[in-house]
Every structure is written in structure tokens, then in C-alpha cells.
Amino acid sequence: HHDDEYHESPILGLYLREGDENSIPTPLHGVGTWREPLDPTGSSKVRLLDSSIHVFAATFGLQDGQTQAKALRMLESMYTSSQMEKEKLNRFAVGTTLISESQGKVKPREEDVCASNVIATILSCLQALPLHEATYDTLIGVGPPWMERATNLLLRLLPSPSDVIRRGAAEGLSYLATLGVSEDAHTLQSTILHSLDEVMKGNTPGNQPKSQTDTISFARPGALLALACIQRAAKRMKKTENDRAVSRSVSRAPDSNDSGIDGPPFLIMMTRILPSLTTQNPEVGSHLARTYALHSFGVMVSNSIRISDETLSPDKVQIIWKAFEAVETSFLGAWSPAVSDISKGKEREKFASEAAFLAVLLRLMTTILPWLQHFNTLDRWIPSRFSCIASTILEWCGGHPVVLFEGTVFFERLNFYSNLVSPNSCCVTTTENTAGLAMSFLLSILRPPQSKVVADKEEDFTSCRGPLDAQRSAAMCLKALCSSCDFPNDAFLSFDLANALYSFLHDRCGRRSFQHFTNCRSLALSRAVTNYFEDCQLIETETISLIHALLKAQVAGRKTDEQSYICMRWLLSARSLVSGDMIKRGEQTRDTHIDFSVSTVIERAGLIGRRDASITLGHSNPPRWQLKCIAANIASVVIETMLDIESQTEGISFSNYKLAHARCTEMLREGGSQLYSSSHHSYPIFHIEELVTMACSASAATSNHSEIPSVQISGVRILISLFHAFGRELDFATNDGTYVLQQFSSQIISAVKHALQSESSHKDTASGHEFHRLFAVGCEALFVMLRYGFITDSIAMKRLLKPVLLSAEEVPFSSYPNTGENIFHSLSSKSVDIIDDPRTYPLFRISKLSFTAKVSVASELGQIDQTSASMVSDNLETHIIVPTAVHAAASAIDGFLLHTSKSNSDDESRSTAENFTGLTFENRSNLDDTVEYEIIKSWPTFAAYAVKSLLASIAKSSSDDDVEPSSKEWLRKLYPIACSGLRRAISGTERQGNSNPTKLHESETVALCIYSLRCFVMEKDIVNYDVFCPHELIDIVHLLTKSIIFSYLGLSDTASGSQYESFSDSRGDNLDLLLNQSCMLIEDICRNIETLPVKSTVLTRLVLEPLAAVQEHQITMTNDNIFIICSFLRSSQSLLKNYPAKEKATLEKSLVELTLSISKDAHDDIIEKINSTCSSLLKSCCEQTCMSDQEWGLVAAYTASNGLWDAWTTLSSTLPLTVLITSSIKAVTNSLAELKRSSNHTRALVALRMALQSVSNNDPCLICFALQHVGCEVLQLLRVYSLRINPGKYFDENRITVCAESVKVNMIAFQYLNTASMEENGFVSFLSALFDVLVEAISFNGLPNHPSGKNGADETIGRMCAQFFVYVARTTPAMFKSTLTVMSVERRSVLEAAVRADMGGYAAPKNDPAKKRLNLKGFVR
């Protein structure tokens, strides 16, 4: 069905029951025109009559023209005789008092059984006829004789008082008027149109007399409806013709520009309808005629003008404008005219009584809404007036379900076109906000019934506010309003709407059938009853979806404090609903003395949550288990939502106690009038005990001593969400390094253990399929507990692992099947229990297999600590690792194929997928949706685990092992799946439908596929080369760099024109894993490129492109992307080792320049992370260099000039020191001479000292050369730093290090002078200048236990100076004495004291007080 047919409204699709578009139960039913049979009835005569009509219609088209004419003549005579008998009865019954008094007890005049059966027969015949398929563009005159008779009979039935007969006759005439005939005045269509004109005048075929009342009241409405049906049937015929042309590949393309006006005489039919829209005749029946005229006008417009038309022709504009006028005049006219004097003053009652008129008026407004944008210049207030009209109608409609249904459709469409609605100062009702305008009547529809002994008003006597269709439409309209940004602000912060939905859901969720209810349908249980329960189930599902949409709408686009406030209110109300915690009667809910403290805010938050839940729990406490299940799911969703908010907001944490307490205190300090609001609210960490208790109680929920697995599943999911939120948070109370959740370890372990034991307990109940799901969720919870290191007790771990570890009987080894071989029974799992659900039973084995695979892969990827992984591996039997890997490989293949078949959009692929047979299941129809989802979701994990385990087993196996060939065959099948799955995930195939439950997280899928490929690359010796395709590996690397890494780095790919989508919008925990695995795969390929069928030159451009972008400052290096840059640097280093010799020199120069540029641009936060990688690459370039010494000398000078001392140190360890020092000594001298660059002095001195220590003793001249240039600067730095002259930024941090390195460099100079043949005077001059600086340093800083007392003094510096004096005195005592002779007395005394203190161990001076003499006279005997 096209969207135009339903005005693009999802609510109008409610008239089509679920599955109607594909309701054929078997392929055999698809032959012919099979339809769902009618509801069986208890009367055998009625069933016989229904069967007769079906047989009559099925065989009518097989007869010749004469027989068909006789059949129509028979129907006509049957109707004529029945009318004659009715006239006789009416003639004799006139004036009879008894009949007059009992007319309310007999059938009304409109229920003509014979006419209804005749209409049903004719319609069935026309629908079954294939004539329209062969008469396109063919003039058939007035048609066969049976058509003429059918036309006359339908025209006679058209003025019937019965709505059903009138509608059937109009529909039948539309079929006859559109049997392939288009434009000929002598055709059957023209005849029917001419006859309709006569019917509207009161005439009938055959000039049979009719009373004036019947003609005016019913003939005109029937004729108007027939005109609309003709237009609608013409459009349907045109659509069928276009579809046939496309399906049969006809050379003539379908007419996509057909507007519908060029089919039947549209304008002529419009001229027949318009007079009935403008009449003000107060005679009886005019209101019915106006209603049918409005409906027909709407049908004509919707089937002639397309919504997608960007421009409207003048004829279309005039038609739409007439529709505007018709709406307003009909609405105003419905209030003013009075039928009689009795009805004067009761205009509202008369207005509300015409439900059909109101519904048609709303539908017409809905129909013309899409074209209002074309009339903004003429009258921009039309949408505002429409909204006021709709509000008035819904206010006075009396709660009629049809009017309510049309009202929800109108407001849902008005919300879609909300940009057209403007505030209207002329309207009392505010029209600028569609949601605020429709909210009151929508909530009135969803209000649950409340039984009362004494009614306060008339509505209290009703058991329900509206039927199912009205309630479903209201829920869908509210969902559309929630998705709109036009939602009222006060409704976001108010919890009234959520409470109303909870109460409605609590009422509706009790109307649910048992699982196999539809299989028990019989004559006593009609299809209508089963449909009722299905509708109740749909209402429940849509209400649940509405609650989730409301939560999402309230949180989206708001400030962080408002988001956390809303989430906390949802979370605490859900906790109260699950726990049944409500405000008891007489309990005080208001604080008399408000104390603005954190504890009061926490208490108030819990009280408000209980109060919100009390509105629903007031109906029934404990609540229904369905409501508890939904509330638990909401709690889990809220926790995950708060985690997303926390990850997107810096400086805020909902799960850390100290940060949350500080934030709450800050909000209280900022002030506010309310104790609990968006400016003063609680956080989840303050209610951790309540949340854990709720989750554990829900995980073991029972009712009348019976397990409720649905609620238990929701409870375990809350535990999983709590681990995501608080798994890494330390316990704020104990502060002993334990996690906050470990204080509830006994409760949590018991809850998870209960879920894992469902495999053994599911046999005791009939609802085994829910226990299968419970076990799967329990396995997921156990994996999360291992991931966060929750379980530390080996005994508890062993008990939890016992139900989830696979046994040898569950996973027998199997080879990959050959063509035609069936190994389904060895790779599948079937239940031996006849009462178990076979469609969900495989969940047990799939969940166990998934748990084992996730633990193993997570351990390899670093997502789980090795302690937990080892505890699992210790309990796993070694001999079943290979069989488990084989079953994981089979499940991976099936999961990938299932996902591929679901992603295909063409009908042929979908039909093939329905009969899909896999390695682990016999037929896809035998799988439950949950099982299928679990296989599809886990296939990347299965593939990664299977590849890793099978490769490891082959590496450890012997050459004569029988398992090795089978393992290699499985690996051959897994490699293309990993490559294809990676491509499909990156290309966005999985993003085609956000509502698809099998939609995988692209980041996780790609990361696991990359890991599988890494295993193949690293174990290249095991796998044959024919598995790898050179072009495929290059394409994958190209794909990863362009679609993932470049997108993350912000590089645009304009050259390649790649069709793959960007992953720059990926968020979550898997993004880092994805980027890490992408980089590691490129590193592995580059590292093993010598043994892989890949050329290094092909990879060079992909590896160097992001590095060149960093060099050109297109990318800013940050802590987030530095690991990517380091990875590409390591990859380029591997490429350089195996690069062709002819082009290696160019690559080497580029890499050297690139390394120096990156090192220069790295700021202090990342310099430690990148220096080691850059140094390693630079060293690799130096070791096997193609560059000359002169070029390297320029590099050395550049590094020294720009302060790249790590690179300079790397060059000093690999290059000849003569080249290094001679080429860069000036730059080194200049760097040491700049006294303001304190941060540069330390690294420069360290690099210089290491280079001088590396100089061979055989080349003392190099040391002399270096010290002649830098000696003065080193001595100057020693004096500046030791005396703390002109301190600046980083001065004090580097002071001791600079002094120590300066002393070491001077010691190297001393050692050189001591070994070189130098005159004594020169040696003494050097020592004298050095000793003067050292003495000044000691005088300023003092010595240990001999402080100088000066500001900024450091005894460590004085000690190293004293140690230098002692070293010189012991090494060259003669030179030491000669130097002392040239020093001043003051300096020499300081020097001697320093030497004496160092040799004496810096003993503290003794200042003992004098002993008192003993006074003997003081003693008394």
C-alpha cells in the first residue's frame, strides 16, 4: 500500500490487521485469489449461505455470457420478490397498534437480509473476475448483458436506507465503471455516471416510483459515494497496471506522472459533489447528504492529487481551496440550523449526535493538511483554525470512538506538519503547540476504568473510555508527539503523563491470552475473540513502546541537570513499582521543617518515587507481573541512559560517590526554592542498596510459588546495567580497595546462580521458552561479572561455571560437510522432552558457547583480567577445546548467513531466506526470534574464537593428527566470512534499519572480524597462501584506513570516492577496541610483509598518508589519537626494513623528516608517549642508512637547534660521533647559552653528557673539541642554577638535575685534562675557575647538617660540589694543592670545610650543654 492511500499516517494502518499484506499461510494458498475466511458462526444456515456466495463468485467467471445473464436475472428476481413481500407486510401493518408498540423489538427497516446477500454476491463476483486484466485500453461499449443487469440492480439498491447496502452498491458500481474503459460517451462508465445523475434527482432505473423522502435522504448520499468509489477504483486500476508493467518488464514504462485527474471525468464528478457541500436545506436528510458529500470529496481529492507534488496546477489549487471552504462552512453550518423548534437551544447536543459527520470532517481536514503549505501566502491561519475546529469537535463529540480515532489521526498529521501551525490571536485555544492541544483528550482515551459504588459523574458508569482502535490510535499519536521537538516543556518535567501510561498499561496488560491460544480456535471461539486478544496484546506492546519513547523524548536535548533529574525520577518510580513500595494511608509526605542537606535530598527523592508509583499501585498492590517486568526494563534503560549522559559530559559522574556528593552539595549551595527539583536532586550512587535489592528481588520473582521468568529476565538485566554503572567504583564506606558492588556479592551471586540453574528447572513448568531466555541472560550477567573482576572466590566461581561450561556430549567433533552431506544432527541441539519448546531450546547450547567464546576473546583483547580468565580456563576441559571451536565455527557461518539474508531487501532473497537451512539448524522456521537474534549477534565472537582456537590447536598438533585437516577446512570457510562481514559492517549494511532487532553494533563487529584476520596473518605459516588473496588484504587495509582511521582523525577522502560510510559518529566502549584492532592489523601485515603475498610499496601510501597529515598540521596530536600515530610510525618502520633497495633512500629521507617534524610538534602531554616510537624509527633509519654523513650531520644540527634531544641521543648511539658532534656543536652551544629555556637545559645536558661518555679514549681530540665550545656555557649553567639566579618557569623542577649534569660534564673535562699532556698552569687555571663556582654554590646552598639559611638553598647541590672537591683531591693531589694556593683565603676555608665535612660523613656539630657539678650538701640523711 502506498503512503498516499493512508496520508502517510501510521495510525490509519490500524485498519489493516498485522500480517494482512502477507497473510497467505502456505504457497498453495497463494494460487488464485485466496482470502482469509469469515468468522464461523453457530448457525448452519448462515454457514451454508456464506459458502454458497463464495462458490457462486468463484464459478461465475467460468460461465458463458448467457449463463451469467441468467444468474444476474435470478438475483434481480430474488430482490424484486423480497421487496414485494415487504411492501405487502408494510401495507397490512399500517395502523396496527400492536405492531406500532413493538417496533423497537423487531428488525429495523434498514436491515434488508435479501438485499445484503445480493450485494455480497455481486461484489464477490466482480472481485473474482479477471476481466480488468485483459480489457485495458479496450472499448467494450456497455459491456455484456450481465453487466447491464448488474448495473441496474446496483442502481436500484443504491438509495437503500441501509448504510451497508448503500456502500456495497457504490463499490460495485465503481468496479463496473473501471473495467478497463476510459474515455467514450457510449461506454459503461458513461452510462453509470449518467444513471447516478438520475439517482440524485430521485429517479431509478426502469422509472420505478420512489417517495420523495427516500430520494432526498438516501439516494443522493449513495450516488455521491459511488462517484468517490469510481475515482478510487480508477487509481487502483492504474496502480495495478503500472505494477504489472514493472513486473513483466514491459517496454512502456509505468506512468509515474499520472495525477488521477486524467482518468475518469474527475471535474465532472466534482461538479456533482460540490452542490451538496454548500446546501443549507433544513429538510430531513440534508445532514446525511452533507456527510457523504464531505467523505466523497475527501476520497476524490486523496485519489487525484499526490502528496509528493511540489507544485499544484490551477485546477488542483481551486479544488483544495474548495475543500478549505467546505470544512469551515460545514463546521459552522452544523451549529446554526435547527431541524425544528424543539431542537432550538440544543445545537451542541445535535452537533455531538452526528458522529459520522464529525469523523468525516476530521478526515477531510487530515486529507488536505499536506497541501496547506501552498496557501501560506493566501491564508496562513488555516492550520490554526483547523486545530481549533478539531479541538471543538473532540470536546463535544461525546466520546464516540470513530471521532476519537479520526482526531488522533488529525493531530498526529498536524504534528508532522507542525511548521505550518502559528499562534493565532483570534483563537481562545492555543494553537502553537500541537501536543499541548491534543494532550487532554488523548489522556482521556487512555484513562483506565475505575469501579465506584457511587458515581461522581456520568462517565464513572462506563467500564472503558474507548474501544481498542481508539486506544491504539491514541498511544501511537502520543508516540508521534513524543518524537517531536514541539513537545510542551512542562510535560517533560512533569511525571503525570508517565503515571497515566503506567496506570493504563496496568489495566490493559491483564487481557492476554496464553501461548497456544490461537491453535484452539473453533466455532465456540470465533476469530473475533482471538483478534480481540491480539489487539490487546498490540495495545500493550504499543504502550510499552510509548513509555520508552516518552523517556527518550524527555531526556533528549536538555541540560545535564535536567536530564539527571528526569532519569532519577523514572528510576526511583520504577524501583517502587517493582518492589510494590507505595505511600501508605496516613503516611506523612511533606516535611514541616525543610533542611537543605544531601541526606534530605536523598530521602526526598525516594519519597517522590514512591508517590509516583502510588498512583498505579493504588489500583492493585502487588502489581501485575507484566507491569513489574516493564518497570524493571525501564530501570535498566534509565541506567544505560545515564551512562551515556555521563560519557558525553565532562566533569560529572553519577556513579562516583565523592563526585556525586560534591555536585549535590554544590547544587544546594547555589540555592533554590524547592527541596527536590532539577536544581536539587539525587544521584544513583546514593540509592545503590535499593537498586541492588530491587534487581535481586526481581531476579527471583514468583507468584503463588511459581516462577515468573519474564520478570526474572528483567531483574538480571538490571544487574547487568548496575555492573556497567558501578563495576569499577570503589566502596566509599570501607576505603580498602574493594568495589562498591562487592558488599552485595552474596545477593548478586545468588540471583545470577538462580538464572543459570534455569536449564534444570525449566522442565517443571510449561513456559519453558522463557527459561531458555533466562539462562541466556544469566550467561551474559556472568560474563559481565568476570569482566569487572567481581568474583574473587574460586569456589564461588566454580559453582557459577558449572552450569555454563559445555560437556563433551554437547559438542561432538565434526568435520565440515561435503556437498550433499548432512551433519545437522551432530552440530545441532534438540530437546528430548516432548513438552519443551524446540524453537527456543538451542538457546542453552548457544548461550554456553557464546559465554566460552566471549571470555576467551575478551582475554586476548585485554577486556578481561587474566585472573578471571585463568579461573575459567582452569575449569574448562582441555579435550573439548577443538570440538567447541568447531561448533563455534558452524554457528558463526550460520549467523553470518542469517544476517546476510535479513539485510537483503529484494523479495526473492527474502523468500529464499524463509527456507534457509544451516549447519546448526534444519530450517529457519524452526528457530525462535530470540535464538536467531542470539546467533546473529554472536557470530563475530564465534568466528574470532574459532579461528584463534583452531589455529592454536594446529600449531600444537603433530603432523599425523587426524584433526588437523578438518580444522584447516573450517578455517578456509571462516576466512571469507571474516572478510565479508568486515566489509558489510563498514559499508553500513547493518544500518539500514534502526528498528531491526538484529542490528549489530558496527564497531564491535568490525573489531572482532579484524581480530580474526589478525590471527590468520600472525599464523601465516599454518594457513596456506591460497587462503590469502593479495588484493583482498590490500583492499581491507585501504578500507580500514579510509573508513575508520581517517574518519576518526578527521581526514576527508575526496580522492578515492569511497562508498563506505564514516565511523566518525561511533560512540561507546567499542570504539577504542575498533581503532586499536585496526591499527594492530596494519602493524601485523607490515611486520610480516616479507612472508605475505603483499607488496610493501602498495601499503606505503596508506601508512604514510595520516603521518603526512600530521606533518602538515592537518591533524592535531592529542591523547586520543596519539596511539594511532604511534602505530603508523611502527608500521612504517616495518615497511622500511623490507622496502626495495631502489626506492629505500627516498622513503628513508621522508621518514627521517617526518619523525623530526612529529617530535618537534609534540606537546608536553604526549611527548613521553611518542618519543620512544619516534626514536625507534629514527634508529632504524640510521642502522641501515642510505644517506650520507653530510646529510646526517644536517639532521643532527636540526635536532639540536630545535631541542629534539631524544632524537639527538638516538643519533649519538648509532652515527659516528665525529659527524654528530662536529656538525651540531654550534647548535648545542646556542641551546645551552639560552638561559630562559629552563626545560631545554636538562635534556641538552643529559644528551651531551651521554655523547661525551660514548667517545672512545682513542679519540680524545673530539672531547677537547666539544668542551672548547660548550665548557663555558656548562660552567655558566652550573653557577646560574646553583645560585638560583633569575629563576623562571620549570627552573626549580630542573635545578638539581642541571647542577648534577653540569658537574658530570666538568668531571669529564677534568678526566680528559688529567690524561692529556697539558701544562700545569692551564690545568690549575681550569680548576681554579671551576672551584670558584663550586665554592659559591656551597656558600649559597650549604651542606647536609650545615645549612646556609638562605632562601632557595638546597643542601643536595652543596654535597655534590663537596664530592667533586674530594674526588679531585684524591685523584690529583698535586694539582689540588696548586689550585688552593691561587684561591683567596675565604674561598679556601669554605673549600676545606666542605672537604672535611664530606670525608667526615657530614656529622652534626656538637653543642652539648655543660654538666652541672654535684652538690653533696644537697643530700639529707
- pTM of the full structure: 0.81
- At 781, the pLDDT band (50, 70, 90 cuts) reads very high
Residue 159 C-alpha cell reads as: 438509495
In this prediction, residue 694 carries a pLDDT of 94
HSE-up of 1394 (CA within 13 Å, CB side)? 33
Question: How confident is the model at residue 279, as a pLDDT?
Answer: 57
Amino acid at 1070: N
Q: Which long-range contacts (CB under 8 A, 24 or more apart) does 659-665 make?
A: 660/685, 660/686, 661/598, 664/598, 664/601, 665/598
How far apart CA 1337 and CA 1280 sit, in angstroms, is 9
Q: Which three cell numbers stand for residue 580?
A: 510494590
Nearest to 304 by CA among 245, 356, 371, 221: 371
Q: Which residue has the higher pLDDT, 610 or 133?
A: 610
Q: pLDDT of 1214-1246, one tens digit each?
A: 888 888 888 888 888 888 888 877 778 888 888
Q: Parallel, antiparallel, or unpaired: how do β-strands 702-703 and 706-707 relate?
A: antiparallel
Single-letter code of the amino acid located at 677: S
- Which long-range contacts (C-beta less than 8 Å, at least 24 apart) are formed by 1162-1165? 1162/1117, 1163/1117, 1165/1119
Neighbours of 1296 (CB within 10 A): 16
Burial group, residue 1237, by CB count within 10 angstroms (0-12, 13-18, 19+)? middle
pLDDT of residue 986: 81
Whole-angstrom distance, CA of residue 850 vs CA of residue 1102: 36
- The pLDDT assigned to 921 comes to 83
pLDDT value at 534 more than 50: yes
For 820-866, the pLDDT digits (tens) are 555 555 677 666 555 567 778 888 889 999 999 999 999 988 888 88
Q: What number is the average pLDDT over the span 565-575?
A: 92
Mean pLDDT (the chain, rounded): 78
Residue 1355 host element (H or E): helix 1355-1371
pLDDT confidence band for 350 (50 / 70 / 90): low
The type of residue at 519 is N
Query: How far is Cα 667 from Cα 388, in angstroms, rounded to an integer?
Result: 43
Task: Show the cell assigned to 481.
Answer: 508527539
Evaluate whether 320 touches 305 at the Cβ level (below 8 Å): yes
Distance between CA atoms of 715 and 693, rounded to whole angstroms?
10
- Residue 707 DSSP SS3: strand
Give the residue from 669, 992, 1023 showing the smallest Cα distance to 1033: 1023
Task: Return d(Cα 651, Cα 644) in angstroms, integer.
Answer: 14
Hey, how many other C-beta atoms are within 10 angstroms of the C-beta on 992?
11
CA pair distance 49, 47, nearest whole angstrom: 5
Specify whether the CB–CB gap between 1394 and 1360 falls below 8 A: no
Q: If pLDDT is split at 50, 70 and 90, which confidence band does 1004 have?
A: confident
What's the pLDDT at 109? Answer: 47
For 1198, other C-beta atoms within 10 Å of its C-beta total 19
Q: How far apart are CA 231 and CA 227, in angstroms?
A: 7
CB 500, CB 491: distance < 8 Å: no
pLDDT tens-digit map of 305-325: 877 777 788 888 888 888 888
**Which has the minimum average pLDDT: 148-162, 465-479, 828-842, 1382-1396?**
828-842
- Identity of residue 1141: A
pLDDT at residue 213, rounded to an integer: 46
Q: By the 8 A CB rule, do 890 and 920 touch?
A: yes
| pLDDT tens by residue, 331-344 | 887 765 544 454 45
What does the alpha-carbon distance between residue 1340 and residue 1279 come to, in Å, rounded to a whole number? 11
Rounded to a whole number of angstroms, the distance between the first and last alpha carbons of the chain is: 127
Q: Which residue has the cell 561432538?
A: 812
HEC readout, 592-645: CCCCCCHHHHHHHHHHHHHHHHHHHHCCCCCCCHHHHHHHHHHHHHHHHHHHHH
Cβ atoms within 10 Å of 1210's Cβ, excluding its own = 24
- Of the ranges 252-261, 498-507, 817-826, which is most confident? 498-507
Q: Which residues are within 8 A (CB) of 761 and not within 5 positions of it... i.e. 6 or more apart?
A: 707, 771
**If you write DSSP's letter for every residue of 111-151 in order, what string do you get?**
--HHHHHHHHHHHHHHHH--GGGT-TT---TT--HHHHHHH
**Single-letter code of the amino acid located at 1108:** A
Cα distances (angstroms) measured from residue 584 to each of 501, 574, 617, 622? 22, 17, 11, 13
Is the pLDDT at 1398 greater than 80? The verdict is: yes
Lookup: cell for 954: 594446529
* 1350-1374 mean pLDDT: 88
Does 235 have pLDDT greater than 90? no
Residue 674 binned pLDDT confidence (cut-offs 50, 70, 90): low
- For 423, counting Cβ atoms within 10 Å of its Cβ (0-12 exposed, 13-18 middle, 19+ buried), the class is exposed
Look at the block and give the residue holding cell 650520507.
Answer: 1188
**H helix intervals, 862-1001:** 866-875, 881-903, 907-914, 929-956, 963-986
Q: b vs e for 251-289, b when ≥16 Cβ sit within 10 Å of the residue's Cβ?
A: eeeeeeeebbbebbbbeebbebbeebbeeeeeeebbbbb
Over residues 755-776, mean pLDDT: 76
User: Which cell numbers hold the place of 253?
Assistant: 514504462
Of 509-523, 792-806, 1246-1260, which one has max mean pLDDT?
Answer: 792-806
pLDDT of 902 over the 80 cut: no
- State the virtual CA torsion across 567, 570, 575, 580 in degrees, nearest 10: 170
Q: Which residue has the cell 584476520?
A: 1013
How large is the average pLDDT for residues 771-793? 91
* pLDDT reading at 1253 higher than 50: yes
Q: Return the SS3 of 1342.
A: strand
- H/E stretch holding 1347 reads strand 1346-1347
Short-list 1029, 1009, 1040, CA closest to 946: 1009
**CA–CA dist 150, 166 (Å, integer):** 15
What per-residue confidence (pLDDT) applies to 335? 66
Report CA 1415 to chain centroid distance, whole Å. 96
Distance CA 1229, CA 1248 (A): 10
Helices (H), 727-841: 745-756, 758-761, 768-787, 794-801, 824-827
Give pLDDT tens digits for 704-722.
888 889 999 999 999 999 9
* CA dihedral sign of residues 48, 54, 56, 58: negative
Find out whether 668 and 601 touch, Cβ atoms under 8 Å.
yes
Instruction: Judge residue 108's burial from the number of C-beta atoms within 10 Å of its C-beta, 0-12 exposed, 13-18 middle, 19 or more buried.
Output: exposed
Identify which has the larger pLDDT, 797 or 918: 797
> For residue 105, what are the contacts with CB-CB under 8 A and spacing of at least 6?
none
* Nearest-angstrom CA–CA distance, 1278 and 1283: 8
